């Protein structure tokens, strides 16, 4: 690839990330959800899915009280993760990769319908997340209404989690009217197996 093509590709990437950064769901994440999570002073948080537009998310937490881990299945995304606390892995196998760590919160945004697509994918992800949480820990699922079915109606999820508010955040927050799709944030509290 020549220098002109590389420069154009980089510029398009930066523009895309700036556009995503300005979406209403991303503003809600940065300005409301992640600060509310940080206020609870969790010991370990997992932010699943790493891209340029969310590189600042770990900095919203007090680094003295909270270890903010990041993961992505794409090795190229590691540069946008949280340094030595980033792992390259499939979320469906996170319990093996993080076998000695238990999370207070596992934050999963944008994976349903974008890599976690089938009932088996969801089942494997939910089982791995459930095993990775502390007792009573929380999972947040952010999803596009046009890309996947409602996770609050998924029997696999409801067998292990209760749809429940987290701290000052509602169990469900919907961001509507975003250029043809709605983005939904759902909180689930771990239940017993």
Q: Other CB atoms closer than 10 Å to residue 82's CB: what's the count?
A: 22
Specify the CATH number for the domain of residue 87: 3.40.50.150
pLDDT for position 16: 47
pLDDT for position 15: 53
User: What is the span of the domain harbouring residue 71?
Assistant: 24-190
| b/e burial code for range 134-165 (CB count within 10 A of at least 16 → b) | eeebbbbbbbbeeebeebbebebbeebbebee
pLDDT for position 6: 64
Measured CA to CA, the distance from residue 109 to residue 48 in angstroms comes to 7
- 98 lies in some domain: yes
> What is the full per-residue pLDDT of the chain (193 aa) written as tens digits?
677 666 666 555 555 455 555 677 888 999 999 999 999 999 999 999 888 878 899 999 999 999 999 999 999 999 999 999 999 999 999 999 998 999 999 999 888 767 778 889 999 999 999 999 999 999 999 888 887 888 899 999 999 999 999 999 999 999 886 565 688 999 999 986 5
- 17 lies in some domain: no
- 1 lies in some domain: no
- The torsion angles phi and psi of 85, rounded to 5 degrees, stand at -95, 10
- 108 lies in some domain: yes
- 65 lies in some domain: yes
Measured CA to CA, the distance from residue 20 to residue 169 in angstroms comes to 23
- 12 lies in some domain: no
pLDDT for position 75: 94
186 three-class SS? strand
pLDDT for position 165: 97
Question: Are β-strands 67-72 and 86-88 bridged in parallel, bridged antiparallel, or unpaired?
Answer: parallel
- 9 lies in some domain: no
- 7 lies in some domain: no
Number of domains in the chain: 1
């Amino acid at each position: 690839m020549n220098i002109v093509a590389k420069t154009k590709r980089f510029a398009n990437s930066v523009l895309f990330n700036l556009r995503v950064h300005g979406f209403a769901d991303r503003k809600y994440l940065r300005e409301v959800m992640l600060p509310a999570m940080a206020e609870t002073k969790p010991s370990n948080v997992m932010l699943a899915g790493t891209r340029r537009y969310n590189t600042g998310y770990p900095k919203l937490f007090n680094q003295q009280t909270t270890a903010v881990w990041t993961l992505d299945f794409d090795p190229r995304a590691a540069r946008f993760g949280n340094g030595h606390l980033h792992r390259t892995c499939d979320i469906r196998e996170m319990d093996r990769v993080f076998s000695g760590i238990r999370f207070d919160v596992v934050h999963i945004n944008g994976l349903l319908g974008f890599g976690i697509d089938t009932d088996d994918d969801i089942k494997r992800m939910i089982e791995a997340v459930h095993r990775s949480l502390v007792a009573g820990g929380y999972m947040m699922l952010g999803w596009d209404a046009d890309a996947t079915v409602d996770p609050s109606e998924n029997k696999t999820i409801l067998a292990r989690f209760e749809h429940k508010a987290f701290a000052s955040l509602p169990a469900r927050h919907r961001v509507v009217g975003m250029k043809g799709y709605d983005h939904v944030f759902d909180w689930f509290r771990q239940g017993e197996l």
